[in-house]
Amino acid sequence: MCALAHVFEAHGLATVALVAVRPVAERMHPPRALYGEFPLGRPLGVPGDAAFQHDVLRRAFALLERPEGPVLEDHPEVIEFSETPLACSLPPRYDPDVPEAVDEARALRDAYERSRAARDGRTSVGRVAEAAAVPDLVAAFVAIAEGTPWDQAGLPGDPISAAHDVRTYYEEAALDLVDVSPDPGAAEAWFYESTAGGRAVLAARKAMQDAGVPFAFWFYMARATR
Amino acid sequence: MSADSDIRAWAAGLPAPEFDTTAWTTPPPLAGATVAIVTTAALHRRDDEPFGPFDVGYRVIDRTDRDLVLGHWSPNFDREGFALDLDVVFPIDRLEELAADGTIGAVAPHHLAFAGNQDDTVTKVRLDTAPKAAQQLRHDGVDVVLLTPV
């Protein structure tokens, strides 16, 4: 993003960047940057809080009045958050003939659809599979975890994109199952730690690592810190 | 926020392209400026081509588009914020409000999305796709670009 600032500025566009990693902005010195110590993935700070978002924009646009640069300033607020898994109910076992994770993914479908409808249809599921096929992705991850080579498990695309679709399906479903706006770490922790689907993705990732599959095929199936 | 702290420390250590100088364009007064958002969150419209890994291209987002997909390949950031509120990544409604109250001159007709996960030198972005994007923005009369990451 800092590289874009340099190129745009050289082409006659004035830029101001909201930056998420301060040392990178220090090294790359874009013309005008505002660092916000906000949860990664939330550069405007707080979802659903127009006043907070306007405060970020006001401070960013104020940098356009500086006569020279580069200028890097900090937003005064630091947003702390919990990584305690979201307290979110999970469905009871329904079909004992399929793995627990597949049963669970199927049962979350209605919650996912309600959540999507509440956002006028907006969803980030669909990189390799639509919601109806997410239980099949989960079944493939269970098979990989149990020893099936990843490229013979029936995934319709690469495992990183499939893991994205599963995680996003669960996290969007969770928005329908809780009444609070989840802390940034909470939904991710809930998916990987509390759900059978998340555990299946992590187990598949570990099995791929143990089988000597190249790093690029499994590492980004979950946060670098997992 | 330990997971984010670890990710920030890791990201801070990644190689980054070097620039000897900082290019500088003096903008017109904000109240007369046309503003565009350029995000590196790999957002795209549902029927656009999805971003591939290390995709050096960009996607165009119309001013009125709201049905956007988060197509970024990195799992190292929160997705719930974007699911809850598009504006926490792509503050298009905030820009419309700023145009309505006269703080900015106008909202650009088109906005752009790149993928933030790139190779270490971002050579093709610097030499090819970003200059093309800049020309497109200038063609739309854009004066100021707000850059947002995830």
Q: What is the pLDDT of residues B57-97, one digit of tens each?
A: 999 999 999 999 999 999 999 999 999 999 999 999 999 99
pLDDT given for residue A66 in this prediction: 97
Average pLDDT of the residues in B11-36: 93
**Tokens representing residue A11 in the block:** 């082409």
Q: Cβ contacts (< 8 Å) between B150 and chain A: which residues? A: 20, 40-41, 43
* CB contact (8 A) between residue B71 and residue A127: yes
**How many CB atoms are located within 10 Å of the residue A95 CB?**
11
Is B125 a member of any domain?
Answer: yes
**ipTM value for the complex:** 0.96
Is B19 a member of any domain?
Answer: no
Report helix, strand or coil for A71: strand
Please list, in sequence order, all residues whose beta carbon lies within 8 angstroms of the beta carbon of residue B133, skipping any fewer than 6 positions away. A4, A8, B38, B58, B112, B114
- Give yes or no for residue B36 having a pLDDT over 70: yes
Q: What is the pLDDT of residues A100-150, one digit of tens each?
A: 999 999 999 999 999 999 999 999 999 999 999 999 999 999 999 999 999
Chain A: give the shortest CA distance to residue B131, in Å. Answer: 7
Number of domains in chain B: 1
**Average pLDDT value over all residues in chain A:** 95
Percent of chain B with pLDDT over 70: 99
Residue A58's H or E segment, with its range, is helix A50-62
Is B15 a member of any domain?
Answer: no
pLDDT given for residue B10 in this prediction: 86
Nearest by CB to B23, which of A6, A28, A41? A6
pLDDT given for residue A31 in this prediction: 97
DSSP lists the bridge partners of residue B45 as B68
* CB contact (8 A) between residue B23 and residue A31: yes
d(CA A118, CA A122): 9
**Average pLDDT value over all residues in chain B:** 94
Q: For the CA atoms of chain B, what is the radius of gyration?
A: 16
User: What's the sign of the alpha-carbon dihedral A88, A89, A95, A99?
Assistant: positive
pTM: 0.95
pLDDT-derived band at B2, boundaries 50, 70, 90: low
pLDDT given for residue B54 in this prediction: 85
Report helix, strand or coil for B111: strand
What is the amino acid identity at position A138? V
Burial of B13 (0-12, 13-18, 19+ CB in 10 A): exposed
Is B37 a member of any domain?
Answer: yes
* CB contact (8 A) between residue A17 and residue B131: no
* CB contact (8 A) between residue B91 and residue A6: no
Is B1 a member of any domain?
Answer: no
Is B25 a member of any domain?
Answer: no
Is B24 a member of any domain?
Answer: no
- Which stretches in chain A have pLDDT values below 70? none
The secondary structure of chain B in percent helix, strand, coil, rounded to multiples of 5, reads 30, 20, 45
Q: What is the pLDDT of residues B40-59, one digit of tens each?
A: 999 999 999 999 988 999 99
**Tokens representing residue A46 in the block:** 């707080």
Domain that holds residue B103: 30-148
A93 interface with B at CB cutoff 8 Å: no
